């Protein structure tokens, strides 16, 4: 089977940097994705890592270590609009796509 772990909640202030970790157990792993979901809305794709290392996209960066079955999403220069739930998701060669439990980020003024 597959399982993912994320912190349930993270709180930070505007302008700060926050890191949301994700650990996973899966077979046939081919990539780790990150999605953002605001309350009442649908998830939106943020990033994807198939290889080890850091991928940077504007204020958001994502990191993957396949040997450690670990990744994180790094959000810099936090803004109020970044308050949302963030999900990591793993895909494997069996074409299953499983989401983590989600981390609720609250950005305070």
Q: Rule CB under 8 A: which residues touch another protein?
A: 30-31, 33, 41-45, 48, 50, 87, 91, 95-102
Closer CB to another protein, residue 78 or residue 103? 103
Task: Compute the least distance from the CB of residue 13 to another protein, in Å.
Answer: 23
Instruction: Note whether 46 and 57 are within 8 A (CB).
Output: yes
Helical residues (DSSP H) of the chain, grouped into ranges: none
Instruction: Note whether 92 and 30 are within 8 A (CB).
Output: yes
Task: Compute the least distance from the CB of residue 53 to another protein, in Å.
Answer: 16
Closer CB to another protein, residue 1 or residue 109? 1
Laid out side by side, the sheet with 53-57 consists of 3-5, 18-25, 70-75, 60-65, 53-57
Task: Compute the least distance from the CB of residue 99 to another protein, in Å.
Answer: 5
């Amino acid at each position: 089977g597959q399982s993912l772990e994320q912190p349930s909640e993270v709180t930070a202030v505007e302008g700060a940097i926050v890191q949301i970790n994700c650990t996973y157990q899966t077979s046939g792993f081919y990539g780790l994705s990150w999605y953002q979901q605001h309350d009442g809305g649908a998830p939106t794709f943020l990033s994807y890592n198939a290889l080890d290392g850091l991928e940077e996209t504007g204020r958001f960066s994502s990191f993957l270590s396949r040997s450690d079955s670990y990744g994180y999403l790094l959000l810099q220069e936090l803004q109020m609009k970044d308050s949302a739930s963030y999900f990591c998701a793993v895909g494997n060669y069996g074409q299953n796509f499983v989401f983590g439990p989600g981390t609720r980020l609250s950005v305070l003024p």
